[in-house]
Structures are given as C-alpha cells and as structure tokens.
Amino acid sequence: MIYQLVIVERVYQQLNESAIWYEKQQNGLGANLLDEFQSAIKIVHSNPFVYEKKFKQFRQAILKRFLFLIIFEIIKNEIVVHQFINVKRNPVKRYKI
C-alpha cells in the first residue's frame, strides 16, 4: 500500500527551532539535523510498520546522530507526523497531540 505523508505544521516549527539552535552551536550542524530528519522521514514513509507502537496508536522513529524522535501514526492510507521532539523532554509530552 502507498501511504500519503502528512506532516503537521508543529513539526516544521519544532524542526526549524532545533536546526537554528544547532546551527548556533556549530556551523553546519543545523543543516546536518535537517538532512537526518529527511532521511528518517523517507524510511518512515517507505515502511512505517518497521516501527512498533509505543503508546496507543503512536509509533516513533529515532534519529541516529541527534537525540530526536519523530512521533507518527498510521490512519487509513496516511502517515501523520505529529511531533519532532528531543528525547530528553518529558515523555508524557511526547504524545500530547
């Protein structure tokens, strides 16, 4: 089945804020975060069932180099990405959609 990828606006805001922060820490690091996010999203989009359910209907992918999670769910023929969040954040906040 081919799934449509839906990324909610909040994810772009979270990603942008994180990339800006990393870029301030080291030149090029923000771009690396964006690249890794794109790579992870491609994997999620191509095979979302690789990731097990972590909380109710939500699944999560973790970035390899950066400590961030991509929280998503599968709804019919859509993969809906709800959060891009640092793993150090309160676990309860991860799934508040």
What pLDDT, on the 0 to 100 scale, is given for residue 91?
59
CA–CA gap between residue 24 and residue 44 (Å, rounded): 28
Side chain identity, residue 14: Q
Using CA atoms, how far apart are residues 92 and 97, in angstroms rounded to an integer?
11
The number of domains in the chain is 1
pLDDT value, residue 88: 81
Q: What is the pTM for the complete model shown?
A: 0.88
70 close to 79: Cβ distance less than 8 angstroms: no
Q: Give 69-97 pLDDT, tens digit per residue.
A: 999 999 999 999 999 999 886 555 666 66
Q: What pLDDT score was predicted for residue 95?
A: 62
Neighbours of 14 (CB within 10 A): 16
Q: Give the model's pLDDT for residue 87.
A: 87
Q: What CATH number does the domain containing 69 carry?
A: 3.30.2310.20
Domain enclosing residue 49, as ranges: 4-94
45 touches 5 (CB < 8 A): yes
Give the model confidence (pLDDT) of 8-54 as tens digits: 999 999 999 999 999 999 999 999 999 999 999 999 999 999 999 99
CB 48 within 8 A of CB 79: yes
